[in-house]
Structure 1
Amino acid sequence: MARASSNSGKPGGGEGKGGYTIRVTFSSLISAGIVTLIGLGWVFMLGVIVGRGYHPEQKVPELARILPAQPHTAPPAPAQAQRNDVIKAEELKFMNSLKGRPTGNNTTATTTATAPAAPAKAQQKSAEKTEQAKPSAKELAEAKARENSRKAQEQKAEAARKAQAEKKAKAEAAKAEAAKAEAAKNDTFDYVYQVAAFKDEGPAKTMRGKLETAGLRARVETQKDKTVTWYRILVSFRGTPEDTRALRATLLKQGIDKIIMRSKVPATGKAKS
Protein backbone atom coordinates (compact mmCIF):
# COMPACT_ATOMS: atom_id res chain seq x y z
CA MET A 1 0.00 0.00 0.00
CA ALA A 2 1.03 3.60 -0.41
CA ARG A 3 2.39 5.23 2.62
CA ALA A 4 2.88 8.99 3.21
CA SER A 5 5.44 10.36 5.65
CA SER A 6 6.36 13.92 6.73
CA ASN A 7 10.00 15.23 7.18
CA SER A 8 10.46 18.39 9.24
CA GLY A 9 14.20 18.85 8.74
CA LYS A 10 17.25 17.82 6.92
CA PRO A 11 19.06 14.66 7.62
CA GLY A 12 21.22 14.94 10.67
CA GLY A 13 18.62 16.66 12.76
CA GLY A 14 18.60 19.97 10.95
CA GLU A 15 15.33 21.71 10.19
CA GLY A 16 14.32 22.45 6.57
CA LYS A 17 11.24 22.71 4.30
CA GLY A 18 8.27 20.20 4.91
CA GLY A 19 7.07 17.49 2.21
CA TYR A 20 5.29 14.07 1.62
CA THR A 21 6.70 10.88 0.19
CA ILE A 22 4.26 8.32 -1.47
CA ARG A 23 5.33 4.73 -1.65
CA VAL A 24 3.32 2.39 -4.01
CA THR A 25 3.52 -1.37 -3.69
CA PHE A 26 2.55 -4.07 -6.22
CA SER A 27 -0.43 -5.28 -4.19
CA SER A 28 -1.79 -1.74 -3.93
CA LEU A 29 -1.70 -1.40 -7.75
CA ILE A 30 -3.68 -4.63 -8.22
CA SER A 31 -6.28 -3.55 -5.69
CA ALA A 32 -6.65 -0.16 -7.34
CA GLY A 33 -7.11 -1.80 -10.78
CA ILE A 34 -9.83 -4.20 -9.48
CA VAL A 35 -11.70 -1.34 -7.84
CA THR A 36 -11.52 0.67 -11.08
CA LEU A 37 -12.86 -2.19 -13.18
CA ILE A 38 -15.72 -2.78 -10.80
CA GLY A 39 -16.63 0.89 -10.91
CA LEU A 40 -16.54 0.99 -14.71
CA GLY A 41 -18.73 -2.10 -14.90
CA TRP A 42 -21.38 -0.57 -12.67
CA VAL A 43 -21.29 2.66 -14.63
CA PHE A 44 -21.74 0.73 -17.93
CA MET A 45 -24.65 -1.35 -16.61
CA LEU A 46 -26.44 1.68 -15.22
CA GLY A 47 -25.92 3.49 -18.50
CA VAL A 48 -27.40 0.60 -20.49
CA ILE A 49 -30.38 0.26 -18.13
CA VAL A 50 -31.12 3.95 -18.12
CA GLY A 51 -30.38 4.39 -21.85
CA ARG A 52 -32.89 1.72 -22.98
CA GLY A 53 -35.79 3.34 -21.19
CA TYR A 54 -34.96 6.93 -21.99
CA HIS A 55 -35.08 8.35 -25.55
CA PRO A 56 -34.07 12.01 -25.55
CA GLU A 57 -34.40 12.29 -29.35
CA GLN A 58 -38.19 11.96 -28.98
CA LYS A 59 -38.29 15.18 -26.99
CA VAL A 60 -35.51 16.98 -28.85
CA PRO A 61 -35.89 16.38 -32.62
CA GLU A 62 -32.46 17.89 -33.33
CA LEU A 63 -30.81 14.96 -31.49
CA ALA A 64 -32.48 12.46 -33.84
CA ARG A 65 -30.15 13.62 -36.64
CA ILE A 66 -27.08 13.14 -34.48
CA LEU A 67 -27.86 10.00 -32.45
CA PRO A 68 -28.00 6.63 -34.23
CA ALA A 69 -31.40 5.08 -34.79
CA GLN A 70 -32.53 3.03 -31.81
CA PRO A 71 -33.96 -0.40 -32.68
CA HIS A 72 -37.53 -0.84 -31.53
CA THR A 73 -38.12 -3.98 -29.60
CA ALA A 74 -41.30 -5.78 -30.65
CA PRO A 75 -43.79 -6.42 -27.86
CA PRO A 76 -43.81 -9.98 -26.58
CA ALA A 77 -46.10 -12.35 -28.46
CA PRO A 78 -49.37 -13.32 -26.77
CA ALA A 79 -48.30 -16.96 -26.95
CA GLN A 80 -45.30 -16.21 -24.73
CA ALA A 81 -47.55 -14.48 -22.24
CA GLN A 82 -49.91 -17.42 -22.30
CA ARG A 83 -47.07 -19.84 -21.68
CA ASN A 84 -46.59 -18.34 -18.28
CA ASP A 85 -50.19 -19.30 -17.45
CA VAL A 86 -49.69 -22.96 -18.44
CA ILE A 87 -49.44 -25.28 -15.48
CA LYS A 88 -46.15 -27.12 -15.34
CA ALA A 89 -45.87 -30.89 -15.36
CA GLU A 90 -44.62 -30.94 -11.77
CA GLU A 91 -47.74 -29.09 -10.62
CA LEU A 92 -49.95 -31.53 -12.51
CA LYS A 93 -48.23 -34.45 -10.83
CA PHE A 94 -48.76 -32.80 -7.51
CA MET A 95 -52.49 -32.29 -8.17
CA ASN A 96 -52.85 -35.88 -9.40
CA SER A 97 -51.10 -37.19 -6.37
CA LEU A 98 -53.58 -35.27 -4.18
CA LYS A 99 -56.57 -36.73 -6.11
CA GLY A 100 -55.16 -40.25 -6.02
CA ARG A 101 -54.68 -40.47 -9.80
CA PRO A 102 -51.66 -42.15 -11.41
CA THR A 103 -48.89 -39.80 -12.51
CA GLY A 104 -45.57 -40.00 -14.27
CA ASN A 105 -44.82 -43.42 -15.70
CA ASN A 106 -48.34 -44.70 -14.97
CA THR A 107 -49.89 -42.01 -17.17
CA THR A 108 -47.35 -42.72 -19.89
CA ALA A 109 -48.08 -46.43 -19.69
CA THR A 110 -51.82 -45.84 -19.88
CA THR A 111 -51.39 -43.59 -22.91
CA THR A 112 -49.11 -46.15 -24.54
CA ALA A 113 -51.60 -48.93 -23.85
CA THR A 114 -54.58 -47.03 -25.21
CA ALA A 115 -52.72 -45.66 -28.26
CA PRO A 116 -52.85 -48.90 -30.32
CA ALA A 117 -56.56 -49.20 -29.54
CA ALA A 118 -57.37 -46.18 -31.71
CA PRO A 119 -56.09 -47.70 -35.01
CA ALA A 120 -57.77 -51.00 -34.17
CA LYS A 121 -61.06 -49.21 -33.57
CA ALA A 122 -60.68 -47.29 -36.82
CA GLN A 123 -60.01 -50.57 -38.68
CA GLN A 124 -63.09 -52.11 -37.09
CA LYS A 125 -65.26 -49.16 -38.18
CA SER A 126 -63.80 -49.37 -41.68
CA ALA A 127 -64.58 -53.10 -41.81
CA GLU A 128 -68.14 -52.43 -40.63
CA LYS A 129 -68.62 -49.77 -43.30
CA THR A 130 -67.25 -52.15 -45.95
CA GLU A 131 -69.58 -54.88 -44.73
CA GLN A 132 -72.53 -52.51 -44.85
CA ALA A 133 -71.58 -51.30 -48.33
CA LYS A 134 -71.34 -54.88 -49.65
CA PRO A 135 -74.68 -55.83 -51.29
CA SER A 136 -76.60 -58.79 -49.96
CA ALA A 137 -77.52 -61.90 -51.95
CA LYS A 138 -81.09 -60.63 -52.34
CA GLU A 139 -79.89 -57.31 -53.70
CA LEU A 140 -77.55 -59.10 -56.12
CA ALA A 141 -80.42 -61.30 -57.33
CA GLU A 142 -82.69 -58.28 -57.81
CA ALA A 143 -79.97 -56.42 -59.68
CA LYS A 144 -79.39 -59.45 -61.93
CA ALA A 145 -83.12 -59.76 -62.59
CA ARG A 146 -83.32 -56.07 -63.50
CA GLU A 147 -80.37 -56.45 -65.85
CA ASN A 148 -81.94 -59.49 -67.55
CA SER A 149 -85.25 -57.65 -67.89
CA ARG A 150 -83.49 -54.67 -69.41
CA LYS A 151 -81.65 -56.89 -71.91
CA ALA A 152 -84.89 -58.69 -72.82
CA GLN A 153 -86.64 -55.38 -73.43
CA GLU A 154 -83.75 -54.18 -75.58
CA GLN A 155 -83.82 -57.40 -77.62
CA LYS A 156 -87.59 -57.14 -78.03
CA ALA A 157 -87.33 -53.52 -79.14
CA GLU A 158 -84.54 -54.44 -81.58
CA ALA A 159 -86.64 -57.30 -83.04
CA ALA A 160 -89.61 -54.93 -83.41
CA ARG A 161 -87.42 -52.40 -85.21
CA LYS A 162 -86.07 -55.09 -87.57
CA ALA A 163 -89.59 -56.41 -88.28
CA GLN A 164 -90.83 -52.91 -88.97
CA ALA A 165 -87.87 -52.24 -91.26
CA GLU A 166 -88.47 -55.51 -93.16
CA LYS A 167 -92.19 -54.75 -93.46
CA LYS A 168 -91.41 -51.31 -94.77
CA ALA A 169 -88.89 -52.71 -97.26
CA LYS A 170 -91.41 -55.31 -98.50
CA ALA A 171 -94.10 -52.65 -98.84
CA GLU A 172 -91.75 -50.43 -100.82
CA ALA A 173 -90.72 -53.39 -103.03
CA ALA A 174 -94.37 -54.32 -103.65
CA LYS A 175 -95.14 -50.71 -104.43
CA ALA A 176 -92.27 -50.58 -106.89
CA GLU A 177 -93.39 -53.81 -108.55
CA ALA A 178 -96.93 -52.51 -108.82
CA ALA A 179 -95.70 -49.28 -110.30
CA LYS A 180 -93.54 -51.24 -112.72
CA ALA A 181 -96.45 -53.48 -113.71
CA GLU A 182 -98.68 -50.46 -114.12
CA ALA A 183 -96.09 -48.82 -116.30
CA ALA A 184 -95.71 -52.04 -118.27
CA LYS A 185 -99.43 -52.09 -118.95
CA ASN A 186 -99.17 -48.75 -120.64
CA ASP A 187 -96.06 -49.72 -122.63
CA THR A 188 -96.44 -50.78 -126.24
CA PHE A 189 -94.75 -53.93 -127.52
CA ASP A 190 -94.41 -55.74 -130.84
CA TYR A 191 -95.66 -59.33 -130.40
CA VAL A 192 -95.19 -62.27 -132.78
CA TYR A 193 -97.49 -65.25 -132.23
CA GLN A 194 -97.52 -68.62 -133.95
CA VAL A 195 -101.21 -69.49 -134.38
CA ALA A 196 -101.03 -72.59 -136.64
CA ALA A 197 -98.72 -74.96 -138.57
CA PHE A 198 -99.45 -77.04 -141.71
CA LYS A 199 -97.55 -79.62 -143.76
CA ASP A 200 -99.17 -78.37 -146.98
CA GLU A 201 -98.80 -74.86 -148.31
CA GLY A 202 -102.45 -74.60 -149.50
CA PRO A 203 -104.17 -74.74 -146.08
CA ALA A 204 -101.56 -72.39 -144.74
CA LYS A 205 -102.36 -69.77 -147.36
CA THR A 206 -106.09 -70.21 -146.75
CA MET A 207 -105.66 -69.59 -143.00
CA ARG A 208 -103.54 -66.54 -143.69
CA GLY A 209 -106.29 -65.08 -145.87
CA LYS A 210 -108.94 -65.59 -143.19
CA LEU A 211 -106.81 -63.88 -140.57
CA GLU A 212 -106.05 -60.93 -142.83
CA THR A 213 -109.80 -60.62 -143.50
CA ALA A 214 -110.31 -60.42 -139.70
CA GLY A 215 -107.93 -57.46 -139.60
CA LEU A 216 -104.80 -59.25 -138.42
CA ARG A 217 -101.34 -59.08 -139.91
CA ALA A 218 -100.44 -62.68 -140.76
CA ARG A 219 -97.71 -64.37 -142.78
CA VAL A 220 -96.54 -67.87 -143.67
CA GLU A 221 -93.08 -69.01 -142.54
CA THR A 222 -91.58 -72.11 -144.18
CA GLN A 223 -89.26 -74.39 -142.23
CA LYS A 224 -87.86 -77.78 -143.19
CA ASP A 225 -87.53 -80.38 -140.44
CA LYS A 226 -85.64 -83.40 -141.77
CA THR A 227 -87.95 -84.84 -144.45
CA VAL A 228 -91.01 -82.67 -143.54
CA THR A 229 -91.62 -79.07 -144.54
CA TRP A 230 -93.73 -77.02 -142.13
CA TYR A 231 -95.77 -74.01 -143.07
CA ARG A 232 -96.29 -71.97 -139.89
CA ILE A 233 -98.80 -69.10 -139.66
CA LEU A 234 -97.34 -66.12 -137.75
CA VAL A 235 -99.40 -63.14 -136.59
CA SER A 236 -97.73 -59.80 -135.76
CA PHE A 237 -99.45 -57.54 -133.22
CA ARG A 238 -98.52 -54.17 -131.67
CA GLY A 239 -100.15 -53.03 -128.48
CA THR A 240 -100.11 -53.14 -124.69
CA PRO A 241 -100.37 -56.34 -122.65
CA GLU A 242 -103.99 -55.39 -122.04
CA ASP A 243 -104.61 -55.19 -125.79
CA THR A 244 -103.52 -58.81 -126.31
CA ARG A 245 -106.85 -59.89 -124.86
CA ALA A 246 -108.63 -58.47 -127.90
CA LEU A 247 -106.21 -60.37 -130.16
CA ARG A 248 -106.95 -63.65 -128.39
CA ALA A 249 -110.69 -63.00 -128.74
CA THR A 250 -110.35 -62.44 -132.51
CA LEU A 251 -108.31 -65.63 -132.95
CA LEU A 252 -110.86 -67.55 -130.90
CA LYS A 253 -113.56 -66.53 -133.40
CA GLN A 254 -111.41 -68.07 -136.15
CA GLY A 255 -111.27 -71.33 -134.23
CA ILE A 256 -107.77 -70.77 -132.83
CA ASP A 257 -107.57 -71.15 -129.05
CA LYS A 258 -103.92 -72.16 -128.60
CA ILE A 259 -101.18 -69.78 -129.62
CA ILE A 260 -97.45 -69.56 -128.97
CA MET A 261 -95.71 -66.22 -128.37
CA ARG A 262 -92.54 -66.22 -130.42
CA SER A 263 -91.22 -62.78 -129.43
CA LYS A 264 -92.03 -59.64 -127.47
CA VAL A 265 -89.97 -56.44 -127.91
CA PRO A 266 -90.69 -52.79 -127.06
CA ALA A 267 -92.33 -51.05 -129.98
CA THR A 268 -90.08 -48.69 -131.93
CA GLY A 269 -90.89 -47.02 -135.22
CA LYS A 270 -93.56 -48.44 -137.49
CA ALA A 271 -95.23 -51.79 -137.00
CA LYS A 272 -93.70 -54.72 -138.90
CA SER A 273 -95.95 -56.54 -141.37
Structure 2
Amino acid sequence: MSGVSLKPRATLEARVDLSGITPAVTCPLTLRELEGLSVPYGAKSVPLAELFFIEGAPEGVLLIEIGDSRLDGVGAGMLEGELIVDGVVGAWAGRGMGGGVLRIAGDAGDFLGAELSGGRIELAGNAGAHAGGATSGSRRGMSGGVLKIGGNAGPRAAERQRGGLIVIGGDAGEGLATDMIAGTASVGGTIGPLMGRGMKRGTVFTRTVPELPAGFVDTGEQELVALQLLARRVPELKAVIGQSTRARRLVGDTLLGGQGELLVPA
Protein backbone atom coordinates (compact mmCIF):
# COMPACT_ATOMS: atom_id res chain seq x y z
CA MET A 1 0.00 0.00 0.00
CA SER A 2 1.40 3.43 -0.92
CA GLY A 3 -0.10 5.02 2.20
CA VAL A 4 -1.76 3.58 5.29
CA SER A 5 -4.62 4.69 7.53
CA LEU A 6 -5.14 3.17 10.99
CA LYS A 7 -8.43 3.59 12.84
CA PRO A 8 -8.92 1.99 16.28
CA ARG A 9 -11.57 -0.72 16.27
CA ALA A 10 -12.60 0.09 19.85
CA THR A 11 -11.47 1.99 22.93
CA LEU A 12 -8.06 0.71 23.94
CA GLU A 13 -7.99 -1.14 27.26
CA ALA A 14 -4.19 -1.18 27.61
CA ARG A 15 -1.19 0.75 26.34
CA VAL A 16 0.00 0.11 22.78
CA ASP A 17 3.63 0.51 21.77
CA LEU A 18 3.76 1.71 18.18
CA SER A 19 7.54 2.18 18.11
CA GLY A 20 8.79 1.19 14.68
CA ILE A 21 5.38 1.47 13.02
CA THR A 22 6.48 4.21 10.63
CA PRO A 23 5.72 5.14 7.00
CA ALA A 24 8.96 3.51 5.83
CA VAL A 25 7.82 0.24 7.39
CA THR A 26 4.10 0.26 6.61
CA CYS A 27 3.83 1.83 3.15
CA PRO A 28 5.72 -0.89 1.20
CA LEU A 29 3.67 -3.71 2.75
CA THR A 30 0.57 -5.39 1.39
CA LEU A 31 -2.67 -5.27 3.35
CA ARG A 32 -2.20 -8.86 4.50
CA GLU A 33 1.34 -8.12 5.69
CA LEU A 34 0.15 -5.03 7.55
CA GLU A 35 -2.61 -6.92 9.29
CA GLY A 36 -0.09 -9.42 10.62
CA LEU A 37 2.37 -6.90 12.07
CA SER A 38 2.83 -7.58 15.77
CA VAL A 39 2.58 -4.73 18.30
CA PRO A 40 2.91 -4.80 22.11
CA TYR A 41 -0.49 -4.37 23.76
CA GLY A 42 -0.36 -4.35 27.53
CA ALA A 43 1.50 -7.47 28.67
CA LYS A 44 1.17 -9.28 25.33
CA SER A 45 1.65 -8.74 21.60
CA VAL A 46 -1.20 -8.78 19.11
CA PRO A 47 -1.58 -8.38 15.33
CA LEU A 48 -2.06 -4.79 14.21
CA ALA A 49 -5.40 -5.72 12.64
CA GLU A 50 -6.75 -6.78 16.02
CA LEU A 51 -6.56 -3.17 17.20
CA PHE A 52 -7.03 -1.12 14.02
CA PHE A 53 -9.03 -1.00 10.82
CA ILE A 54 -6.41 -0.69 8.07
CA GLU A 55 -7.11 1.24 4.88
CA GLY A 56 -5.24 3.17 2.20
CA ALA A 57 -4.02 6.77 2.49
CA PRO A 58 -2.06 9.26 0.32
CA GLU A 59 1.33 8.01 -0.84
CA GLY A 60 4.04 8.05 1.81
CA VAL A 61 1.62 8.89 4.62
CA LEU A 62 0.77 6.93 7.75
CA LEU A 63 -2.44 8.31 9.25
CA ILE A 64 -3.81 7.46 12.69
CA GLU A 65 -7.39 8.64 12.42
CA ILE A 66 -8.30 8.73 16.11
CA GLY A 67 -5.62 9.45 18.70
CA ASP A 68 -5.47 7.99 22.19
CA SER A 69 -3.30 8.76 25.21
CA ARG A 70 -2.52 5.02 25.40
CA LEU A 71 -0.70 5.10 22.06
CA ASP A 72 2.98 5.19 23.03
CA GLY A 73 6.00 5.47 20.75
CA VAL A 74 4.10 7.03 17.84
CA GLY A 75 6.71 7.93 15.22
CA ALA A 76 9.59 6.60 17.32
CA GLY A 77 12.57 5.79 15.12
CA MET A 78 10.99 7.42 12.08
CA LEU A 79 13.43 8.27 9.26
CA GLU A 80 11.25 9.42 6.35
CA GLY A 81 7.70 10.05 5.21
CA GLU A 82 4.84 11.71 7.04
CA LEU A 83 2.92 10.47 10.07
CA ILE A 84 -0.28 12.29 11.02
CA VAL A 85 -2.27 11.73 14.20
CA ASP A 86 -5.79 13.13 14.42
CA GLY A 87 -5.84 13.46 18.19
CA VAL A 88 -3.71 12.86 21.25
CA VAL A 89 -0.81 10.45 21.79
CA GLY A 90 0.93 8.93 24.78
CA ALA A 91 4.58 8.94 25.82
CA TRP A 92 7.71 8.67 23.67
CA ALA A 93 6.18 10.11 20.49
CA GLY A 94 8.93 10.82 17.97
CA ARG A 95 11.65 9.37 20.21
CA GLY A 96 14.89 8.97 18.28
CA MET A 97 13.43 10.32 15.03
CA GLY A 98 16.05 10.95 12.36
CA GLY A 99 13.88 12.29 9.54
CA GLY A 100 10.39 12.77 8.18
CA VAL A 101 7.50 14.75 9.63
CA LEU A 102 5.30 13.87 12.60
CA ARG A 103 2.14 15.95 13.03
CA ILE A 104 -0.05 15.52 16.12
CA ALA A 105 -3.37 17.34 16.36
CA GLY A 106 -3.72 17.02 20.15
CA ASP A 107 -1.59 16.67 23.28
CA ALA A 108 1.39 14.37 23.83
CA GLY A 109 2.73 12.60 26.91
CA ASP A 110 6.23 12.63 28.38
CA PHE A 111 9.43 12.44 26.33
CA LEU A 112 8.01 13.91 23.12
CA GLY A 113 10.89 14.08 20.62
CA ALA A 114 13.37 12.65 23.12
CA GLU A 115 16.78 12.28 21.47
CA LEU A 116 15.45 13.64 18.17
CA SER A 117 18.29 13.87 15.64
CA GLY A 118 16.48 14.99 12.49
CA GLY A 119 13.11 15.61 10.90
CA ARG A 120 10.28 17.72 12.24
CA ILE A 121 7.64 17.24 14.94
CA GLU A 122 4.61 19.55 15.08
CA LEU A 123 2.35 19.26 18.12
CA ALA A 124 -0.83 21.32 18.24
CA GLY A 125 -1.47 20.87 21.96
CA ASN A 126 0.51 20.50 25.18
CA ALA A 127 3.51 18.26 25.83
CA GLY A 128 4.39 16.40 29.01
CA ALA A 129 7.76 16.36 30.77
CA HIS A 130 11.17 16.02 29.09
CA ALA A 131 10.14 17.21 25.61
CA GLY A 132 13.23 17.16 23.40
CA GLY A 133 15.23 15.80 26.30
CA ALA A 134 17.21 12.70 27.12
CA THR A 135 15.68 9.35 27.94
CA SER A 136 16.27 7.90 31.39
CA GLY A 137 19.95 7.22 31.96
CA SER A 138 21.08 8.87 28.72
CA ARG A 139 23.44 11.84 28.50
CA ARG A 140 22.18 12.97 25.11
CA GLY A 141 18.99 14.85 24.49
CA MET A 142 17.78 16.20 21.19
CA SER A 143 20.66 16.77 18.75
CA GLY A 144 18.96 17.93 15.55
CA GLY A 145 15.68 18.58 13.79
CA VAL A 146 12.77 20.79 14.83
CA LEU A 147 10.31 20.23 17.67
CA LYS A 148 7.41 22.68 17.56
CA ILE A 149 4.91 22.67 20.43
CA GLY A 150 1.82 24.81 19.97
CA GLY A 151 0.78 24.78 23.63
CA ASN A 152 2.66 24.35 26.89
CA ALA A 153 5.59 22.07 27.70
CA GLY A 154 6.01 20.29 31.02
CA PRO A 155 9.09 20.22 33.26
CA ARG A 156 12.62 19.82 31.91
CA ALA A 157 12.02 20.45 28.23
CA ALA A 158 15.30 20.67 26.29
CA GLU A 159 17.17 18.82 29.03
CA ARG A 160 20.67 17.90 27.81
CA GLN A 161 19.82 19.29 24.39
CA ARG A 162 22.79 19.08 22.01
CA GLY A 163 21.39 20.66 18.86
CA GLY A 164 18.31 21.41 16.82
CA LEU A 165 15.45 23.78 17.56
CA ILE A 166 12.64 23.58 20.12
CA VAL A 167 9.80 26.10 19.80
CA ILE A 168 7.22 26.28 22.60
CA GLY A 169 4.28 28.52 21.82
CA GLY A 170 2.95 28.58 25.39
CA ASP A 171 4.60 28.19 28.78
CA ALA A 172 7.52 25.96 29.76
CA GLY A 173 7.72 24.16 33.10
CA GLU A 174 10.55 24.23 35.60
CA GLY A 175 14.05 23.18 34.67
CA LEU A 176 13.94 24.20 31.01
CA ALA A 177 17.32 23.64 29.31
CA THR A 178 18.83 21.84 32.31
CA ASP A 179 22.36 20.71 31.36
CA MET A 180 21.86 22.10 27.85
CA ILE A 181 24.99 21.67 25.72
CA ALA A 182 24.01 23.26 22.39
CA GLY A 183 21.02 24.08 20.22
CA THR A 184 18.23 26.62 20.46
CA ALA A 185 14.96 26.81 22.39
CA SER A 186 12.27 29.47 22.21
CA VAL A 187 9.37 30.06 24.60
CA GLY A 188 6.45 32.32 23.77
CA GLY A 189 4.95 32.28 27.28
CA THR A 190 6.41 32.11 30.77
CA ILE A 191 9.22 29.85 31.98
CA GLY A 192 9.20 27.99 35.28
CA PRO A 193 11.96 28.28 37.90
CA LEU A 194 15.53 27.00 37.64
CA MET A 195 15.87 27.40 33.90
CA GLY A 196 19.34 26.59 32.60
CA ARG A 197 20.79 24.91 35.66
CA GLY A 198 24.04 23.26 34.54
CA MET A 199 23.73 24.88 31.09
CA LYS A 200 27.01 24.82 29.17
CA ARG A 201 26.17 26.38 25.81
CA GLY A 202 23.14 26.93 23.62
CA THR A 203 20.57 29.72 23.39
CA VAL A 204 17.12 30.23 24.88
CA PHE A 205 14.83 32.97 23.56
CA THR A 206 11.99 34.26 25.72
CA ARG A 207 9.87 37.36 26.25
CA THR A 208 10.59 37.85 29.97
CA VAL A 209 13.40 36.91 32.36
CA PRO A 210 12.43 33.86 34.45
CA GLU A 211 13.73 32.79 37.85
CA LEU A 212 17.31 31.71 37.15
CA PRO A 213 19.98 29.81 39.10
CA ALA A 214 22.66 31.85 40.86
CA GLY A 215 25.16 31.06 38.12
CA PHE A 216 23.57 33.37 35.54
CA VAL A 217 25.12 36.79 34.91
CA ASP A 218 23.13 39.67 33.42
CA THR A 219 25.27 41.40 30.78
CA GLY A 220 22.58 43.97 30.02
CA GLU A 221 20.86 45.01 26.82
CA GLN A 222 22.97 44.70 23.69
CA GLU A 223 22.71 45.53 20.01
CA LEU A 224 22.46 42.24 18.12
CA VAL A 225 21.98 42.88 14.42
CA ALA A 226 22.11 39.14 13.79
CA LEU A 227 18.68 38.77 15.42
CA GLN A 228 16.86 39.79 12.26
CA LEU A 229 19.08 37.58 10.12
CA LEU A 230 18.22 34.70 12.44
CA ALA A 231 14.50 35.50 12.33
CA ARG A 232 14.55 35.37 8.53
CA ARG A 233 16.58 32.19 8.44
CA VAL A 234 14.52 30.45 11.14
CA PRO A 235 10.91 31.67 10.77
CA GLU A 236 9.83 29.76 13.90
CA LEU A 237 11.75 32.31 16.01
CA LYS A 238 9.96 35.31 14.52
CA ALA A 239 7.16 35.17 17.09
CA VAL A 240 9.58 35.91 19.94
CA ILE A 241 12.21 38.02 18.16
CA GLY A 242 9.72 40.20 16.27
CA GLN A 243 11.43 43.24 14.74
CA SER A 244 14.01 43.56 17.51
CA THR A 245 17.70 44.15 16.92
CA ARG A 246 18.44 44.53 20.64
CA ALA A 247 18.16 41.97 23.42
CA ARG A 248 18.93 41.60 27.09
CA ARG A 249 21.57 38.87 27.41
CA LEU A 250 22.11 36.67 30.45
CA VAL A 251 24.95 34.13 30.48
CA GLY A 252 25.26 30.90 32.47
CA ASP A 253 25.54 28.57 34.18
CA THR A 254 28.84 30.27 35.10
CA LEU A 255 29.16 28.32 38.37
CA LEU A 256 29.92 25.31 36.18
CA GLY A 257 31.89 27.22 33.56
CA GLY A 258 28.91 27.46 31.24
CA GLN A 259 28.51 30.06 28.51
CA GLY A 260 24.92 29.43 27.50
CA GLU A 261 22.75 32.44 26.87
CA LEU A 262 19.23 33.63 27.57
CA LEU A 263 18.13 36.32 25.12
CA VAL A 264 15.15 38.56 25.80
CA PRO A 265 14.48 40.70 22.70
CA ALA A 266 13.81 44.33 23.58
TM-score, length of structure 2 as denominator length: 0.16
Q: Which has the higher helix share?
A: 1
Which of structures 1 and 2 has the larger relative contact order (alpha carbons within 8 angstroms, sep 6+)? Answer: 1
TM-score, length of structure 1 as denominator length: 0.15
